Structure 1
Amino acid sequence: MKKTLTLLFLIISFGLQAQIQFKITDQVSGIPLENVRVKAGKDKILRTNSSGIIAIPGSEPIRVSFALEGYESREEEYGPGEYEVKLNPTIFNLGTVTVSAFESERPLLEQSAAIVQVSERDFNRFNETSPVNAFNTKPGIRIEERAPASYRVSIRGSSLRSPFGVRNVKVYWNEVPFTSPDGTTALNLLDLANIKTSEVVKGPSGSIYGAGNGGAISLFSQPEISGNRISTDYLAGDFGLSRFRLGLSQQVGDGGIEASFVSQKSDGYRDHSAVDRQVFQLGGFFPVSEKQEIRTQLLISDLDYQIPGALNAAQVAENPRQARPGSVAQNSSISQQAVLLSLGHLYRFSEKTSNNTTIYLNTNNFENPFILDYKKELGFGYGLRTKFVHDGKLAGKALRLIAGAEYQNGLTDAQNFGNRAGVADTVRFSDKLRAYQGFFFQQAEWNLSTKMLFTLGLSENFSGYEVDRQIDATGGPTGLQTRTFDPIVVPRVALNYKLNSFSSVYGSLSSGFSPPTIDEVRTNEGSLNLDLEAEKGVNYEVGYRLGLARLNVDLTAYYLKLNETITTYTNENGVVLFRNAGSTDQKGIEAAVDYAILRNSGGFIKDLLIGTAYTGQFFKFVDYAKQTNDFSGNDLTGVPPHNLVSRLDLRTSIGFYFNFTHQFTDKLPLNDANTVYQEAYDLVNLRFGYARTFGNWDLEAFAGVDNLLDESYSLGNDLNAFGGRFYQPAPTRNWYGGIKVGFNY
């Protein structure tokens, strides 16, 4: 009888112990975390209680994932027992934040370059209709919006040559080159629903990303799917703004699919500045085996937006909301439909060697009636990017070798017509265009000691254009003309030294180049500027990073020597043209400081974070003479010497939150002669709301105001504009509000 009772007791005890129990806490504060999404194997998602505890029945080891907004996700295998799992806050600290810049996943403290991360939390501090405000909180980065959905990206002043669009910066989206082979990027085809996080490499990107003195931006929208979720958002605001999003995540085996549809419309602050955009995205993540993963991506974007045009000072004073005379009558606007399809494949040859290859196809239908003409383009492109990574040893020290290649080819039928009241008239000229670019890259990362990491990179680049003129109504020559740029070898050398476990210093020397885009070679007036040279630069950079439990500091100083700088000017007809302007000296300082006054505390105020970012850009023309004008020694056009951003984020234990952002932008020259300036301005943006989780439901209601001080300014000017038409007035004070609902099933 005694043995029977003992056996029964053991059986009951084993049954009670056959579970996996977790207590999940904040690594910085040690406070238990409530509502952490916990998924064990293929079971439904569970959530931790107010004590941060969750128990999963079972007696066999199983993979468990943990996810909570504001924290790094984590996934490991656990057997029966009790565990404490500590989650890292995504913004603290730099030693735990991992970035994949330069194709090498390392903590930010170990990276030997100026890199910033723009997270989903950064985007959610604003109205989520564009990426502008979130990126502009980071030092050295400035996105201008000359009109709704008309972006110009400047990294360290790289927008000097950009009258419109994104130039001199390489952009990737889910590892697919989103920058076309002619050097332009239609960033406005993406909605924020297509961008969860972003990494920005500032300055010449050297061996890994090919052309671009400005830097490289990697956008990511496709996380590994760890559960089933359906969600929807709706936002409305001043000037006829409305945005609707519907999203779905569905786990399929160990992978899954993710889909979203977004519709955004607005009437715009100015006359003739309406926007209408629909974007559909479908992505798939499929682990085939322990060695292979497949990722698929489909993006369909339909964008229409009106172009109000630039005004002179008298017109701004009279009525800043008016459109440029002629814009309405000629229906100055852009209509663009694009499709992007990609397939990515990761193969692990061993624990030390892997290959990641992505191929893509894209189509683009572009129509642009303008005051002076009417442009139509139909394009098709394809490309490939592949990289091999091997972790080994050299002289007993860890050595990581990276090698790969990228190739892009774009074909376009381009026609320019006269514009008769917004309708295409007779053809002026017609071309068949081809743009191509490619490069091979190699990189070695050698740990000379436990504290010192040496990086050596190299790439070999080639590119060119073909312009086959079919029709020239002026009687000019027709036929094929080509421009092939000489192969360019781009090196990068960098050294990172860890002072201790929470701070490091680094230095780097890198080269960069940026050939003219095809729109700079082939202008709207029909001329071909095949003699335009590529910009070439050398960048010297040093930096310091500190990452403590509550304090982050990131300091950078650099000097970029740029030769054959491409600048813009406008002829008497308002056509933007381009020329090489000798050389420029670009010296800069960037600083970012973030401090957590409270982080996941047990009181009413759960989080209280403050931060500031300073950008100092002291850029000069060194050798720039045009006919009788000598601009040498002048400040670089379109670049503010000082920019300061301050942030405050507050979150309460009951769900209320408040975000405050103040941005000061110094006055900036609008022409090469430095005779016209945009005055300095202050922008203040607020967002406040309530966000809570109720079981499987996530709810959020929010409201906000942009330009609280009702400043008059231009967030993007026309540089060197003819007739004094420099200004693109930005919206005055405006409000918005919305609601988000998500269900995890």
Structure 2
Amino acid sequence: MLLATGLAVWALPALAQDEVPPGAAREAAATLPVVVVTATRHAQQPFELPVSIDAVSLQQIQANRASIDPSESLREVPGVLARDRQNAAQDEQISIRGFGARTTFGVRGVRLYVDGIPATMPDGQGQVSNFSLGAADRIEVLRGPFSALYGNSSGGVIQLFTADGTDPPEWRMMFGAGRYAGQRVELGTRGIAGDLDYNLDLSRLDGDGFRRHSRATRYNGNAKLRFALGGGNRVTVVANSVLLPHAQDPKGLTWPEYRADPRQAAPSALIYDTRKSVRQNQLGLVAEHDDERGGEWRALTYYGRRAVQQILSIPPVAQASALSAGGVVDLDGGYGGVDLRRRREGRLGGRPFELIVGSSWDRQNQQRRGYENFVGDTLGVIGALRRDEQDVVWDFDQYAQASWKLSSRWSLSGGVRHSSVHFRVDDRYITAGNPDDSGQRVYSATNPVAGALFRATGNWHLYASWGHGFETPTFSELGYRSDGGSGLNLGLAAARSTNLELGSKWRLVGDNSIELAWFQADTRDELAVDSNTDGRTTYRNRGRAKRRGIEAKLHLTLAPRWQAHLAYTWLDARFTQSPDGSGTRIAGVPRSALDASLRWGGARGWHARLQLSAIGAVVANDVNTARAPGYALVDASMGYVIDSIRVQVAPFLRLDNLFDRRYIGSVIVNESTGRYYEPGPGRAIYVGCRVTFR
């Protein structure tokens, strides 16, 4: 890996002979204005919307990203907390404005999409391991009330968009290696061939991780094919795959263990060889038709299959009860859905008016099995069957969304979504001591949203938005009962929120901008972790909660080759009414988060970047008796870009955690044995190179 990078650097002087002259069109091309589609489901400038939404470009090679996990990019967005657990078995920990902070693995409380196709299961459980960052153009993040128009688990929306094909076609390669991050290889091609627009990408990541017993290998594949059929018709096929054949789980540490050696694994992780494997394949198809009146018809369908097997560290004595589900989780099943949508543009009262109406249906059919994690005296292996059930969830939603430019200064937006989510379990493991635990539960809600934008001047806009949202428990949260009984915890209620946001957007000279937002979310029946022991988690409703805060974003061009970016969040998230007492902070949510960067350089030649990330202290349990201290990290990077007619070469060097700060990267909320802490990595170097052949 390092050899490939060295050869690329050695080749720079020779490649420079084919550089495009300074006056060429590519050099002089103007920067296109940023557009987003997640807020209104079609392309618009975020400056014209009464919402908090950001688009992070993944095509900027000067960012010197390793393109391993979305947290590299998401930390630039205010309101978003994206933490790399350094544990591929549990995926990244992502929350938006405090929603989703309770998750012990995967992503909950936040909707995920890839090219408009759900990456969140119908029950609300999502994962970002299938995000192919190397093939992507951008990530959009929608926060606040309007995210409720995406349905269940709508604390926010994160959507990844695959890049379109290029003309001329390109072959892309990326090589990278670093301490703790491992080695990453990527190969892709994108282009336009007649009526076909394509982007194909494959990558492999292999690394030992920062902590012991955290080795993982991950394969990702992504393909987007878009066919222009004429007459305003087009069809897009999106396929993605992720294979995680073996990801070790080092588990959390107690505070004394962290202080003694942050790189160690929990002793039980080594005894039971705790680990996880994932296999997922998904195919989606989107058909679109533009009519002569400026409207659009859109039909989406997708299907996927996901299999997960996880070895936990539950001791054999705890599995002695006839009601125990064992110490191995084995899930396998298919999922899919359809979404039909109609968009119309016209005039209302002589002013521009747009209406979108649609309906969606999704279904997940999953076989859940549980096994003992021992055979005789051998631990960490698949033993006798202890649970066998079929878990089915399906939802049926209807939605409408409208926007009306009431005058040159005022625009109104609004919408409503009705959601109905049905859970059913068919128990197939029935013994004398383990009764039939079959059952079902239905959750439904009608959630309205409304917003207004006021154009105080041509470059200063004010807005307000309001709405309701709701979040059902996932199958993982329903999976185990707090009383130790068998079957699903069907007593859990859905959390329901009322959201309010006020904001201001300034567009300054050039691409300079300032954005401020104040928000508040009041939630009843807040879903929270009840207990977390040896990797098995139970949940409960913990009363009412309030999240309120301020977000600020600043982007400035200080000089022709100097740019500064700042994203700041202050968030007060606490329970306001709870059986355990009111006023305690919600675990896993810091009061403040700051990301600031200073970049020097242009599209070619040398460039450098200095980045500061500061996170406030977080409490690790809901009773606030354990906490992880805050920290500040400094990262530095530099690189060089040669861009010729035939090839582009961009080697780069990163130094993460420049001052080797010891810190807690994430916490495991309410871990019953006190193993709350997942340490972050120390100082690390990463060397990479991107090569593009045209």
Query: Cα distance, 1:456 vs. partner?
Result: 1.8
Aligned to 1:62: none
Structure-2 change in CA distance of 1:474 and 1:144 (3 Å): farther
1:438 Cα deviation after fit = 2.6
- Name the counterpart of 1:114: 52
Q: Is the 8 A contact 2:38 2:159 kept in 1?
A: no
Whether the 8 Å contact between 2:144 and 2:501 is mirrored in structure 1 is no
Change over 3 Å in CA distance of 1:477–1:194 after alignment to 2: farther
Q: Which AA in structure 1 matches 2:79?
A: G
Q: Provide the C-alpha distance between the structure 2 equivalents of 1:694 and 1:160, rounded to a whole number of angstroms.
A: 46
Q: 1:438 to 1:708 in 2, by over 3 A?
A: farther
SS at match of 1:180: coil
Structure 1 residue aligned with 2:249? 307
Q: Whole-Å Cα distance in 2 between the matches of residues 159 and 206 of structure 1?
A: 14
The equivalent residue for 1:32 is none
The alignment partner of 1:519 has SS state of helix
Matched, 1:521 2:478: yes
CA contact (8 A) 1:535 1:565 kept: yes
| Contact map agreement 2:116 2:159 (CA 8 A) in 1 | yes
Residue 585 of structure 1, aligned match among 540, 546, 555 = 546
Q: Bigger relative contact order, structure 1 or 2, given CA contacts below 8 A and separation 6+?
A: 2
The alignment status of 1:568 with 2:536, answered yes or no, reads no
SS in 2 for 1:423: coil
- Alignment counterpart, residue 504 of structure 1, candidates 458, 461, 485: 461
2-side partners of 1:205 and 1:428: how far apart? 43
User: SS of the counterpart of 1:328?
Assistant: helix
Q: Report the alpha carbon displacement of residue 205 of structure 1 after superposing the two structures with TM.
A: 3.7
Aligned partners of 1:341 and 1:360 also within 8 Å: yes
Measure the CA separation in 2 of the matches of 1:479 and 1:618.
40
CA distance in 2, matches of 1:653, 1:441: 43
Residue identity opposite 2:185 in structure 1: F
Confirm or deny that 1:144 pairs with 2:83.
yes
Deviation at 1:256, TM superposition (A): 2.4
1:327 matched to 2:274? no
SS in 1 for 2:257: helix
Is the CA contact (8 Å cut-off) linking 2:365 and 2:393 kept in structure 1? yes
Question: For the Cα contact (< 8 Å) 1:523–1:577, is it kept in 2?
Answer: yes
Q: How far does residue 527 in structure 1 lie from its aligned partner after superposition?
A: 4.1
Contact residue 172 and residue 691 of structure 2 kept, 8 A? yes
Aligned residues: 653
Q: What amino acid maps onto 2:296 in structure 1?
A: S
Q: Which residue pairs with 2:498 in the alignment? A: 538
SS of 1:193's equivalent in the other structure is helix
Q: Which residue of 2 aligns with 1:396?
A: 350
* Residue correspondence of structure 1 range 198-277 to structure 2 within 5 A: 198-206=139-147, 208-239=149-180, 241-277=182-218
Specify the alignment match of 2:132 in structure 1.
191
Q: Which amino acid counterpart does residue 586 of structure 1 have in structure 2?
A: R
| CA–CA distance in structure 2, aligned partners of residues 438 and 699 of structure 1 | 49
- Give the AA of the match of 2:425: V
Q: What letter is aligned with 2:372?
A: G
> Would you say the 8 A contact 2:165–2:190 is kept in 1?
no
Q: CA deviation at 1:569?
A: 2.7
Contact kept, 8 Å, 2:147 with 2:157, in 1: the verdict is: no
- In structure 2, C-alpha distance between the alignment counterparts of 1:647 and 1:121, rounded to whole Å: 18
Equivalent AA in structure 1 for residue 278 of structure 2: Q
Q: Distance in 2 between matches of 1:166 and 1:264?
A: 21
The residue that corresponds to 1:675 in the other structure is: 625
Inter-partner Cα distance in structure 2 for 1:474 and 1:713:
50
Q: Structure 1: how far apart are the matches of 2:38 and 2:152?
A: 19
Is residue 122–residue 134 contact of structure 1 (8 Å, CA) maintained in 2? no
Distance (whole Å) between structure 1 residues aligned to residue 418 and residue 686 of structure 2: 48
> 2:58, 2:133 within 8 Å by CA — same for their partners in 1?
no
Asked if structure 1 preserves the Cα contact closer than 8 Å seen for 2:462 and 2:505, the reply is yes
Shift of 1:190: 2.5
Q: Which amino acid aligns with 2:284?
A: S
Q: Quote the offset at 1:473 in angstroms.
A: 5.7
> Deviations along 1:127-160, whole A, 9 cap, x unmatched?
2221112101211001122233321210001123
1:133 matched to 2:77: no
Measure, in 2, the Cα distance between the counterparts of 1:475 and 1:518: 24
Deviations along 1:621-652, one digit per CA (max 9) or x if unpaired, are 110123xxx2x012222111111111111115
The range that moved more, 312-321 or 536-545, is 312-321
Structure 1: gaps of 5 or more residues: 1-45, 54-66, 69-84, 91-95, 600-606
Question: Could you give the per-residue CA deviations for residues 531-555 of structure 1, whole angstroms, max 9, x where no partner exists?
Answer: 1000000111110001121521010
Give 1:721 shift: 1.5
Q: Is residue 405 of structure 2 the alignment partner of residue 447 of structure 1?
A: yes
Query: Cα–Cα, structure 1 residues 318 and 608, in superposed 2: closer, same or farther, change >3 Å?
Result: same
Counterpart residue number, 2:415: 457
Q: Write the distance in 2 (CA, Å) between the matches of 1:288 and 1:734.
A: 49
Code of the aligned partner of 1:681 = Y
Q: Displacement of 1:669 after TM fit?
A: 1.1
**Aligned equivalent of 1:52:** 24
**Paired position in structure 1 for 2:317:** none
Q: Tell me the TM-score normalized by structure 2.
A: 0.91
Partner Cα separation in structure 1 for residue 535 and residue 688 of structure 2? 41
1:375-394 map, 5 Å: 375-394=329-348
Superposition RMSD in Å: 2.0
- Tell me how far 1:108 sits from its aligned partner: 1.1
Aligned-partner Cα distance in 2 for 1:318–1:530:
42
Q: 1:88 aligns with which of 16, 31, 35?
A: 31
Matched, 1:733 2:676: no
- What is the CA–CA distance in structure 2 between the aligned matches of 1:174 and 1:699, rounded to whole Å? 28
Distance 1:545 1:697 in 2: 39
Residue number among 221, 225, 232 corresponding to 1:284 in the alignment? 225
SS at match of 1:189: coil
- SS of the residue 1:146 aligns to: coil
Q: Which amino acid aligns with 1:435?
A: V
Higher-Rg structure is 1
Distance 1:144 1:88, change over 3 A: same
Asked if the contact 1:206–1:458 (Cα under 8 Å) also holds between the matched residues in 2, the reply is no
Aligned partner of residue 100 in structure 2, secondary structure: helix
AA aligned to 2:22 is S
- On the 8 A contact 1:147/1:273 being kept in 2, the answer is yes
C-alpha distance 539-277 of structure 1, shift in aligned 2 (>3 A)? same
CA distance in 2, matches of 1:194, 1:153: 21
Aligned AA (1:146): R
Preserved CA contact (<8 Å) 1:427 1:473:
no
Instruction: Give distance in 1, aligned partners of 2:289 and 2:663.
Output: 51
Conserved 8 A contact 1:174-1:222: no
Report if aligned partners of 1:698, 1:741 keep a CA contact under 8 Å in 2: yes
Shift of 1:203: 2.7
Contact 2:367 2:389 in 1 (8 A): yes
- Alignment partners' CA distance in 2, 1:297 and 1:571: 37
Conserved? CA contact 1:246–1:260, under 8 Å: yes
Counterpart of 1:494 in structure 2 is: 451
